Chains A and B, each alone.
Chain A
């Protein structure tokens, strides 16, 4: 069955970076996009962008350009998101999700909490 397994919680200092991982299983990793979504505690969902592991193509929503960088390792079926220049506003849950083509998300990772604090 399709699974997206995310890395554990992160505690980081302002100005530093964190690299989150999302390991896919149960399907052909290179055939589907992986999206990343942000959710601040008790709030709504924000789409960050996506990577297509098959060709390495990426797209970032305007708000997250320069903040997030996506990569993928096809040998381990793992997608990564690097979040840089962290501020307290980056403290949130981050989910990876797999859409049907580029539409709705039928599979989600369990989410990872990133806390930015000095």
Chain B
């Protein structure tokens, strides 16, 4: 099974700041990676797919990058509505999710 190691587990940042969340796969997943945002009490929402493609309706301050085993999600100019948990997911070989990153405002 492919393991996904996500970091950091939690993150505190100020409004307007740029934040980066990372995921490392235990083997090459060929950019078959998605990022989700989950707000308390809600289901996850797709942000990024295929490592760097923005899902419909997602603000352009979100971006994804990476290849091979290393991937990252960047949020530019952090807004209050970005407070949430973020998860990566590989779909190269079935599915595995990262453990999540809880993003809070400083």
Contacts and interface: CB of A to CB of B under 8 A. Distances in A.
Interface residues of B, number: 21
Nearest to B55: A106
A108 B44 contact: yes
A46 B97 contact: yes
Interface of A: 35, 43-47, 61, 95, 97, 99-100, 102-106, 108-111
A10 to B, nearest CB: 17
B97 A47 contact: yes
A35 B95 CA distance: 10
A59 to B, nearest CB: 8
A61 B55 CA distance: 27
Contact of B91 (A95, A102, A110, A111): A102
Interface of B: 32, 34, 36, 42-46, 49-50, 55, 87, 89, 91, 94-100
Given A103-B91, A104-B91, A106-B55, 16 more contacts: A35-B95, A44-B98, A44-B99, A44-B100, A45-B100, A95-B44, A97-B43, A100-B49, A103-B32, A104-B89, A105-B34, A105-B44, A106-B49, A108-B45, A110-B43, A111-B43
